[in-house]
Structure 1
Amino acid sequence: MAQAVQASIGDSEFDRDTAVTLRTPGVYDTRLSAGWTIAHAVNGGYLLAVAGRALGDALPHPDPFTTSAHFVSASTPGPAVIRTQTVRTGRTLSTGQASLFQYDEDGTEVERIRVLATYGDLNDLTDEVRTSATPPAISPYEQCFGSADAPDPEFAEKWAILGRLDIRLDPNTIGWAVGAPSGKGEVRGWFGLADGRDADPLSLLLTVDAMPPTSFDLGLKGWTPTVELTTHIRCRPAPGPLGVAISTRNLAGGFLEEDAEIWDSRGRLVAQSRQLAKAPR
């Protein structure tokens, strides 16, 4: 009998929409929600969280420590199947891979995303921290701008995912929204889920790929599809809004990188990521 994998925190929209159901050992069914799309394509961070949910059930350790995701083809809302494989299990860490498939018109399975990940237990980490990293300079929450403030109402309509998120962008990095991009390739702001669900390690996989792309601040418009995304989860986030800083230093050959840092309300670096993406045409 199929068995639903229980959500980790409450009955939030994120938990419902990332739910997976165990079909047979290592194989999970899911349904990708249209609520997490950008111009009809399913957001990559949401896809990673869905695959991460399946891996968290398949592996003996609960929390993603590092994930490397390759986006093979664009996903669409609807049914999908996730096939997982355990690569190795140890006392403190376990490694596995997951591939998410959908079906084309003739019923053939098409791979959408392939993830290689190592999981552990964040509760077992030591308290020692040696770092030169400092939280990003983000304007106070009440001085930042949300999607309701966008000058172009069609922007929010095309980004269905914005209805699931509580994003407040730093006014110093949203010149692109009024036709005056800085050219620096920077986006900063506060991030949360619209229904108030607190962040956890799984939702951080969404956070690293849910802000507007830095290509906007470079003066480029249009879809910026992710090719590969590597994420490191450093500790369990404290409740409250997350501070997010994303930057791009190099656009060449039609591709750009995005480096992201996620900071929690206690001023701790809770996640880092780097992705390679195609620049808008």
Structure 2
Amino acid sequence: MTKFDEATQAIRVDDQTYDVCLDPGYSIGGPLNGGYLMAVILRAVVDDSPFEHPVSTTSQFLKAPVAGEARVRVERLKVGRTAAFHRATLIQNGAPQIESLITTATLTGADPIYADKAPEIMPPVAQCIALPAPKPESGMTLNAQMEMRFDPPTIGWLSGAPSGRPESRAYFRMAEPQDPDPFVLALAVDALPPVVFSAGGRGWAPTVDLTWHLRALPAPGWLSLIGSGRLVADGWFDEEVEVWDSAGRLVAQSRQLARVGRG
């Protein structure tokens, strides 16, 4: 079992309840990363489902959970022949933190009837760069859990020269050697710096609603994360992320609505 597997494990208490321990290693300055929290919730739902894979997840982030003990309450809405539907709630200190609707199924890895080609916008890994390590006092522990190599034009905001477009692109893999799986993909779709940074925004940008789809089981190796946005207005922005695996296949898609941070 990897450290990530341990950090996301859910222990069954009864037919509707799982105990979880939210790991401080996935902090973004206090609050925990939304993708990590979704991975925790999905562990419980997949354990309860007769199907292996979380193919669709929609989560609303009511509050910002912190490290420590919590519970996931799982409700089966319907179980069919090819898919199951669940509602899951992450609860901490007696209060709902995240509400999720999740569809599970079993992907077979069959060849697609149609598949788009990977976008030719990412340079080779060797030409991409890592972000500077955060200061220990920042509470940004998430960075240590994964390796990311960024397409240089999308991190101009670091030097005060944002591109002016909401965008973020990087290669991604776990810091501890681990082949990507659906739970790693849950983390990956929310791993990029907010795309609003490249449009001039700064500060913590809390996710309000995030939906992501598992499209295929990923091959081993680096994942490519392609993030973009369409509108930044009235204190809100949207972010879409495509995740491509090392074999050039689209393995996950996400869209989220978030608040523009205060620098």
Give the TM-score normalised by structure 2.
0.96
Determine helix, strand or coil for the equivalent of 2:144. helix
Stretches of structure 2 lacking an aligned partner (at least 5 in a row): none
**Counterpart for residue 118 of structure 1:** 103
**Counterpart for residue 247 of structure 1:** 228
Number of aligned positions between the proteins:
262
Measured in 2, the distance between the counterparts of 1:136 and 1:26 equals 45
The Cα offsets for residues 6-59 of structure 1, whole Å up to 9 and x where unpaired, read as xxxxx1111000011111112000100100010110110000000000000011
8 Å contact kept, 2:153–2:163: no
* Letter aligned with residue 47 of structure 2: D
Measured in 1, the distance between the counterparts of 2:151 and 2:137 equals 18
8 Å contact kept, 1:136–1:245: no
In the TM superposition, what are the counterparts of 1:8-47 in structure 2 within 5 Å?
11-47=1-37
User: Does the alignment pair 1:102 with 2:92?
Assistant: yes
User: Does the alignment pair 1:76 with 2:66?
Assistant: yes
**Counterpart for residue 192 of structure 2:** 211
Q: Structure 1 85/249 Cα, relative in aligned 2: closer, same or farther at 3 Å?
A: same
Matched-pair identity in %:
40
Measured in 2, the distance between the counterparts of 1:242 and 1:141 equals 11
Aligned-pair CA distance for 1:153: 4.5
8 Å contact kept, 1:70–1:228: yes
Determine helix, strand or coil for the equivalent of 1:122. coil
Measured in 1, the distance between the counterparts of 2:245 and 2:112 equals 17
Say what the alpha-carbon RMSD is for the aligned residues.
1.5
Stretches of structure 1 lacking an aligned partner (at least 5 in a row): 1-10, 104-108
Q: Structure 1 47/153 Cα, relative in aligned 2: closer, same or farther at 3 Å?
A: closer
In the TM superposition, what are the counterparts of 1:1-281 in structure 2 within 5 Å?
11-103=1-93, 109-123=94-108, 126-132=110-116, 134-147=118-131, 150=132, 153-154=134-135, 157-281=138-262
Aligned-pair CA distance for 1:156: 9.1
Q: Structure 1 117/136 Cα, relative in aligned 2: closer, same or farther at 3 Å?
A: farther
Aligned-pair CA distance for 1:154: 2.9
The Cα offsets for residues 180-232 of structure 1, whole Å up to 9 and x where unpaired, read as 10111111110000001110112111110011111111111100000000001
8 Å contact kept, 1:139–1:171: no
